């Protein structure tokens, strides 16, 4: 069974009927994660696609993954340039499509590509989404709480459930959070 044959796709198929009319259109998943591979804590960050149209038993095998790029460093610089290029290419593959050779029907076909999901760790999300990182005054991307920079502790603290360490003047919440 292919990804597009599942029950959860009924809503997507109704939302994008022109995309699902062509059964050869590609549905992909993007993944980015880093790993420290050297003793100096320098890491590599592979960016790759998985084609969800493939059967589940082969879609995660190395020979069927598409490597988009590789970043090097503890905190790679210029990730925004790479992600902007990625977004531009994904938009082009969604709106304009691309020409591909179909060996079965022996003809060139115009296909489109849909990005279904993105898998990243928190650091990847911070880099790709240009969001706040650990220690920012705003504790996360979704909640409205603001932190206070503590000179005593040497870090940013947040007032969760109206609790702060003694001697720290932090904003109090009118209602408990979390």
Mean pLDDT for the chain?
A: 74
Of the two residues 84 and 176, the one the predictor is more confident about is 84
- Looking at 90, 111, 129, which one is the last position of a domain? 129
Highest mean pLDDT among 26-40, 48-62, 65-79, 116-130: 48-62
Is 4 a residue whose pLDDT tops 60?
no
- Looking at 91, 107, 129, which one is the last position of a domain? 129
Tell me, yes or no, whether 54 and 117 share the same domain: yes
> What confidence score (pLDDT) does residue 110 get?
94
Tell me, yes or no, whether 63 and 124 share the same domain: yes
Tell me, yes or no, whether 88 and 121 share the same domain: yes
Number of domains in the chain: 2
Average pLDDT over residues 26-53: 80
Domain that holds residue 89: 3-129
> What confidence score (pLDDT) does residue 177 get?
38
Tell me, yes or no, whether 29 and 74 share the same domain: yes
User: Using one digit for the tens of pLDDT, what is the confidence trace for 49-85?
Assistant: 999 888 888 988 889 888 888 877 655 566 777 778 8
Tell me, yes or no, whether 7 and 29 share the same domain: yes
Q: What's the CA angle centered on 45, arms 43 and 50, to 5 degrees?
A: 150
Tell me, yes or no, whether 72 and 159 share the same domain: no
Tell me, yes or no, whether 111 and 142 share the same domain: no
Of the two residues 174 and 54, the one the predictor is more confident about is 54
């Amino acid at each position: 069974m292919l990804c597009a044959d599942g029950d959860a796709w009924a809503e997507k198929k109704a939302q994008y009927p022109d995309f699902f009319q062509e059964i050869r259109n590609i549905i992909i998943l993007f993944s980015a994660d880093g790993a420290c591979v050297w003793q100096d804590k320098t890491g590599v960050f592979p960016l790759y696609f998985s084609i969800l149209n493939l059967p589940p038993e082969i879609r995660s095998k190395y020979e069927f993954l598409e490597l988009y790029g590789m970043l090097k460093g503890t905190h790679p610089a210029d990730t925004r340039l790479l992600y902007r290029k990625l977004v531009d290419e994904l938009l082009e593959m969604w709106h304009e499509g691309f020409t591909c050779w179909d060996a079965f029907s022996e003809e060139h076909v115009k296909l489109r590509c849909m990005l279904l999901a993105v898998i990243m760790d928190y650091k990847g999300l911070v880099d790709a989404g240009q969001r706040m990182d650990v220690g920012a005054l705003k504790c996360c991307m979704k909640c409205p709480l603001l932190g206070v920079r503590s000179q005593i502790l040497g870090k940013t603290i947040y007032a969760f459930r109206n609790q702060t360490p003694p001697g720290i003047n932090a904003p109090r919440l009118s209602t408990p959070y979390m």
